[in-house]
Chain A
Amino acid sequence: MRLLNRSAGRLSRHRRGPIAGLVVLLLGLLLTGGLYAAFAPAQADSTQSQEELVEEGRELFIVGCAFCHGQNGEGVLTQGGDQYGPALTDVGAAAVDFQVGTGRMPMAAPGNQAPRKEVVYTDDEIAALSAYVASLGTGPSIPDAELYDPDTLSDEEYDEYVTRGGQIFLANCTACHNFEGSGGAMPRGGYAPKIRGVDPKHIYEAMLTGPQSMDTFSDGNIPPDDKKAVIAYLDTLNEQPNYGGFTFGNLGPVSDGLVAWLVGIGGLVGFAVWIAAHTTRTSKEKDGADA
C-alpha cells in the first residue's frame, strides 16, 4: 500500500510538468487504438478473409469436387444426358455443410445414393467449401445454433416443443424415416437413412435443403420454430429409455415376428423336446439293452 501511495505520489508530482499533457494524450490515443484494434477491426478483417475463404474453397473444390460438379460448379452431364454431378450454383452453404459435414460428399463411388460415412474434410475446409459454393449463387446459408439447438430451450418450452414436434414428425417424416427415425426403404436401392443420433444442425440443414430423394421442407412449409420442435422430439427419443425392454432395431412388426418365432416358438419347442425326453422311470435300472 505504501509502495502504491509512494508511486502515485511520485507520478502526481509530474502532473503539472511540461510533457504531462503530451503523455496523457499519447496514452489516450494508445488506449483508444488498442480497444479499436481489439473489437472493431473484426469486420474489416473478415471482409478480407471471406474472399480468402472463397478462394481457399475454390481450390479445394477444384481438387475434390469439380470432377463431378464441374470446374465452376455448373454440373456435369453424362453422354446419355443424365446428371453425373448436379449443378451447385443455387444450393447454398447449408447444402454443402450437410453433404460434406456428414461425410456424404465426396462420394466414394458413383451410386444411387451417397451413404453417410466418415467426414473427409476438416471444419475449416468445410467452411471454405460452403463459402465458395454459396458465392456461386443463392441458397440457404448455414443456420445459427439458436435456430436448431434444443439446448437453447427452457424446460417448459422444451416439453411444449417435444409434443408439437412429435406430431409434426409423424405427419411429415415417419412415412420414410420410420416412427423411431430408424430409416426406411426407397425405390431402387435408395433409402431414407436412420436419423437418430444425428447432429441437430445437420437435421435442420437436411430439412432446409432436401438432400438426395428427400423433399425440401422450406421455411414456408415447416417454419424454423417447427423444425426446432422436430429436432427436440428426436432429442427426446434419444434420451428416453426403452420402456418396453429391448428393441430389435425399432423396425416395427417384422422384427417382432422374427423374435416370436426364433425365441418364442423356438424356445418352447426346445422345452417340448426336453420334457418328452425326460419321462418317468418304471424301474431304477435302465433297460436299454435292445433299444
Chain B
Amino acid sequence: MMKSADVATTNGTEPATPTRSAKAAGAVATWADERLGLGTAMKKQLRKVFPDHWSFMLGEIALWSFVILLLTGVFLTLFFDPSMTEVQYNGSYDPLRGVHMSRAMASTLEISFDVRGGLLMRQMHHWAAMIFIAAMMIHLLRVYLTGAFRKPRELNWIIGCLLLLLGTIEGFTGYSLPDDLLSGTGVRAADGFMKASPVVGTYMSFFLFGGEFPGDQIIPRLYAAHILLIPGLLLALITAHMLLLVYHKHTQWPGPGRTEENVVGYPLLPVYMAKAGGFFFIVFGMTALLGGLFTLNPVWKYGPYDPSKVTAGSQPDWYMGWPDGLLRIIPPWETHIWGVTLSWNIMLPILIAPPLMLMVLIALPFLEQWITGDKREHHLLQRPRNAPTRTAVMAALITFYGLSWAAGGNDIIAIKMHLSINQITYFLRGAVIIGPIIAFMITRRWCISLQRHDQEKLLHGYETGVIVRSPDGGYAEKHLPISETKAYTLTARDREEVYTANGTADEAGVAAPGGKVAEVAKKIRSKLSALMFADNVQKPTAEELHEAQHHADHELHELEHQIATGPNKHGPTDDDH
C-alpha cells in the first residue's frame, strides 16, 4: 500500500549498466571523460534529484526568457545606434522618409525594415521581456503560496524580489531606447516623477539628462544601463539564485516517502536535462511565434519623439501599469509650503508605492517568522489552504495590484466598454482600498472551508455518489474511506499553536527583559498569531482517525446487512409481489 509511483523501488547501490552499445554521443562523452575526468567532477551535480510538479517550472519560464533576451539582445546591439544625433531618415519606410529624428530612432527603423529578420528579433526581444517579468511574478506567487520562502530560503526570496525590481527597471530602460513617441513620452514621465521628489528632484533630473530634458545624453546612458549594468546584475543574481537552489535542494510536496530530509524525484541527467532543455525550446518557440505573428510596439507609426506630440493610449509596458494606474486615479493632492509644492499626487503612487510594495514583499517571510516563531528548516511545501491567512494576504496584495493595474488602462476600458472614464476612476479609488480587504476575508474563509473539506474526507471518507435508502425510507449518501496514500498526504503537516503573550511579568512581578516595547511587541505578535491560526482547522489526531476508521467499518457492515435483508436483495424484475 505504501508503494507510490514517485518512490524509488530499489535500494540497490549498483548503478544500472546499459545493455545497448554506446551511441555516438556516448562515445564522445566517454572520450572526454577519459581525458578530462568530467564524469567524476560532475557526478554529484548530474545526479542531483529534482521533484516533479508543473508549478516548479514557472521560474524556468523566467530563466529561459532571460536567455532569449540575451540572444536577441546581442543581435539588436549589432544594428542599434544609441545616439541622439539628429539625422534625416532615408530608409525604406516611406511615410517617415525625410523626417528628422535621432540616430537611435533611425537605427530602430532600420532594424525593423532594412535588416533581415530585424523586426522579428525586435518583437521577440520585446515579447520575451514581457514574458520574463510575468514569469517572475507567477513564480513568486508559487513560492509564496506554498511556503517555499521559509527557512532556509529567505535570502533566495530576497534575491528573487531584487530580480523582479531589476527586471522591471531593465524593461523600462529598453522601452525607452528606440526614442519613438511612446518611449519619449515614458522618459518625459520619468523626468516628471524625478522632479516630484522634494529638494533633490530637479538636481536628479539635471544629472540624469545632462541638462534640461530631453538633452542628448539620456539614450546613451539608458543604453549603458540596459545592455551592461543591469544585465550584469541580473546575471549575477540569477546565478546566486540558482546556486542557492542547488545548495538548498528543491522543495517538494508532502507524500508517502517524502520527508524534510530527502528529495524524491528524478535525476538532473537525463530526465531534467531533457525536460528543461525541451522547455527552453518551447519558450523560444512561443516567443518566436508571438514575435512573428503579433505586432508589438510599431515604432514606425509612433514616429520620432517630439515633446510637442503625444498619443492617446500612451501606456507603459504592463509591468509598470500598476503605478501608472495609481497615478491616474489619485486625487489631486498637493501641499504648498514656503513657496515649494509637494506633489503628493505624484510622490505617493510613483515614488512611495512601488518601493513600499517591494519592502512589503521582502518583509513577508520575516514577518511570518516573527509571528510564528518558527525557526525550523522547511523543505516540504504547504498547500495554500493550509495557511489561510498567508494565502489571504497574497490575495489582498494581488487584488490591490490588479485593481491598480486596471486603473492604468482606464481609458482603454472606457472606450472598449462604453463607460465613463470618470466613473471608472471614482470606482477604482474606492476599490483599491476596499477590494483587498474583501479579497482577504473571502480567501481566508475559503481556505478554512477547504480545510474542513479535507478534514471531512479524512474522518468520513469521500463521497461515493451512491445513494442508499434505509428501511424507514431515509436517503443517505454512502461515504468510503480515502486511500492511505491520500490520508498520509493530507495529514503531512504540522499542528499550529497560537502564540499567547502571557507571562510578560513573572510571579514575583519582575517584568520580562526588554521593557515596554517588547511587551507591546509580544501583544501584537499574539494578536497576529491568533489571526493567523486561531480559526484554522487542525489535522485530526491518531485516535480520531482510528475512531473514524472504526465508525466507517461499522457503517459499511451495517449497510451490507441492510442490503442483504432489505427489499433491494431482489432484482427489479420480481418486484410485483
Contacts and interface: CB of A to CB of B under 8 A. Distances in A.
| A, B from the same assembly | yes
Interface of A: 159, 162-163, 166-167, 170-171, 174-180, 182-189, 191-192, 233, 236-237, 240, 242-257, 259-261, 263-265, 267-269, 271-273, 275-277, 279-280, 282, 287-288, 290-291
List of 9 A-B pairs having minimum Cβ-Cβ separation, nearest first: A184-B312, A257-B318, A244-B295, A252-B313, A260-B130, A189-B420, A276-B54, A185-B411, A174-B311
The residue among B113, B318, B410 with the most chain A CB atoms within 10 A of its own CB is: B318
B321 interface: yes
A8 B56 CA distance: 106
Contact of A187 (B9, B282, B422): B422
Given A189-B419, A245-B294, A275-B54, 10 more contacts: A163-B98, A166-B303, A179-B312, A185-B412, A188-B420, A253-B313, A254-B409, A260-B130, A271-B279, A290-B483
Contact of A163 (B9, B96, B275, B483): B96
Contact of A264 (B266, B290, B302, B410): B290
A171 B309 contact: yes
B57 A272 contact: yes
Interface in B302-316: 302-303, 306, 308-316
A251 B314 CA distance: 9
Contacts of B95: 162-163, 166, 233, 236, 240
A16 to B, nearest CB: 73
B296 A178 contact: no
B297 interface: yes
B134 A264 contact: yes
Contacts of B308: 171
B279 A192 contact: no
A58 to B, nearest CB: 35
Contact of B422 (A188, A252, A287): A188
B283 interface: yes
B200 interface: no
Contacts of B421: 185-189
B135 interface: yes
A254 B3 CA distance: 50
Given A252-B182, A256-B296, A279 B302 contact: no
Contact of B317 (A177, A253, A273): A253
A77 B223 CA distance: 59
5 contacts: A170-B303, A178-B313, A188-B421, A279-B266, A287-B3
Size bin of chain B's contact surface: 35 or more
A177 B318 contact: no
Contacts of A277: 54
B481 to A, nearest CB: 13
Interface of B: 1, 3-5, 9, 52-58, 60-61, 94-99, 112-113, 119, 123, 127, 130-131, 134-135, 138, 181-182, 266, 271, 275, 278-279, 282-283, 286-287, 290, 292-298, 300-303, 306, 308-318, 321, 408-412, 414-416, 418-423, 483-485
A185 B415 CA distance: 6
A282 B265 CA distance: 12
Contacts, number: 223
A253 B127 CA distance: 11
Given A162-B95, A244-B295, A290 B4 contact: yes
Contacts of B182: 179, 252-253
Contacts of A279: 52, 266, 271
B379 to A, nearest CB: 19
Given A254-B313, A260-B131, A243 B318 contact: no
Contacts of B57: 272, 275-276
A291 B4 contact: yes
B485 A268 contact: no
A267 B282 CA distance: 10
Nearest to B321: A257
Given A189-B414, A264-B130, A272 B314 contact: no
Given A267-B286, A280-B266, A260 B318 contact: yes
B472 to A, nearest CB: 37
Contacts of A163: 94-99
B5 A288 contact: yes
A255 B412 contact: yes
Contact of B315 (A246, A250, A253, A259): A253
Contact of B415 (A183, A265, A272): A183
A265 B296 contact: no
The listed residue with most A CB atoms (<10 A of its CB), out of B52, B119, B311, B316, is: B311
Contacts of A233: 95
A286 B297 CA distance: 50
A199 B359 CA distance: 54
Given A162-B94, A163-B99, A233-B95, A282 B9 contact: yes
B119 A257 contact: no
Nearest to B4: A291
A134 B386 CA distance: 76
Contacts of A183: 312, 415
Contact of B134 (A177, A250, A265): A265
A179 to B, nearest CB: 4
Given A163-B96, A184-B411, A276 B52 contact: yes
Contacts of A176: 312
A257 B53 contact: no
A287 B485 CA distance: 14
A245 B295 contact: yes
B294 A246 contact: yes
Contacts of A170: 181, 302-303, 306, 309, 311
Contact of B312 (A178, A276, A291): A178
A239 to B, nearest CB: 10
Most buried by B among A159, A179, A180, A259: A179
Contact of B3 (A187, A250, A290): A290
Contacts of A159: 94, 97
Nearest to A165: B95
A233 B301 CA distance: 11
B309 to A, nearest CB: 5
Contact of A174 (B123, B297, B312, B483): B312
A260 B287 CA distance: 10
Contacts of A253: 182, 297, 313, 315-318, 321
Nearest to B131: A264
Nearest to A191: B415
Contact of A291 (B303, B314, B420, B485): B485
A184 B301 CA distance: 16
Nearest to B2: A290
A271 B52 CA distance: 14
A261 B401 CA distance: 15
A172 to B, nearest CB: 9
B311 A261 contact: no
A271 B410 CA distance: 32
B138 to A, nearest CB: 7
B312 A261 contact: no
A270 to B, nearest CB: 9
